[in-house]
Amino acid sequence: MMSSTNNIGLEEILSSLNQLFEGVSTEKVDPRQYKIITPPEKTIPVLEFLKEKGYSHLSILTCIDWIAEKKFELVYILFNWGTGVTFVVSTYVNRDNPIFYTVKHIWPTAEYYERDVHEFFGVKFEGNENCEKPLILELWNDLPPLRKDFDPLEYSKKHYPDREYQKDAIHEARIIRGDVRGEIDG
């Protein structure tokens, strides 16, 4: 149900975004979805601004590990139930010492997203006192698992003993599929 009036509302929000907060770049992904990249210190005001504009639903707060640029990208996805438009607000945080501010006071549910992000990426959120507590993984003592520099296979080999096969069935499967050249001795 996309009534035309919504567009004008949308345009007006985007334009006021640019005036109020400089250094904010918006990009249209599709008629119902916009990506906003904000500098770290501007993120919280932008989020509050958008919340007043009707984007009250924080559907997810996740983190993307750009290991190349040594950055963590914190992504806040807001959804407006009135107009059906989604705003993806993201900001970049330094990867080596990832600290950011909590949005718990805006959305109470964010507390658990932040605990999840901390557990799997190691990003600390000031203001959320129990963001260090474990949420999903039980007794995890290694690097946060979803970071790119963590090697799950090596962890799996180390912790969960594997079955010793006389022959390497996967190698044989590759040969059958023709990726690799070699003989299968029956």
Q: Which is nearer to another protein, 7 or 156 (CB)?
A: 156
Q: Which is nearer to another protein, 16 or 156 (CB)?
A: 156
Whether 35 and 26 have beta carbons less than 8 Å apart is answered as: yes
Taking the complex as a whole, the smallest distance from the CB of residue 120 to another protein amounts, in Å, to 11
Taking the complex as a whole, the smallest distance from the CB of residue 160 to another protein amounts, in Å, to 5
User: By the criterion CB under 8 A, which residues form the site for another protein?
Assistant: 133-134, 137-139, 142, 145, 150, 152-153, 155-156, 159-163, 165
Placement of tokens 């290991």 in the chain:
67
Dihedral of the alpha carbons of 5, 6, 12, 15, in degrees to the nearest 10: -140
Run of H or E including 77: strand 71-79
Q: Which is nearer to another protein, 133 or 181 (CB)?
A: 133
Compute the distance between CA of residue 62 and CA of residue 75 in angstroms, rounded to an integer: 5
Q: Which is nearer to another protein, 159 or 181 (CB)?
A: 159
Taking the complex as a whole, the smallest distance from the CB of residue 144 to another protein amounts, in Å, to 11
Q: What is the b/e burial string over 11-23, where b = at least 16 CB atoms within 10 angstroms of the residue's CB?
A: eebeeebeeebee
Placement of tokens 């004008």 in the chain:
8
Taking the complex as a whole, the smallest distance from the CB of residue 140 to another protein amounts, in Å, to 9
Taking the complex as a whole, the smallest distance from the CB of residue 164 to another protein amounts, in Å, to 10
The first and second tokens of residue 97, run together, are 């010492």
Q: Which is nearer to another protein, 77 or 131 (CB)?
A: 131
Placement of tokens 């963001």 in the chain:
131
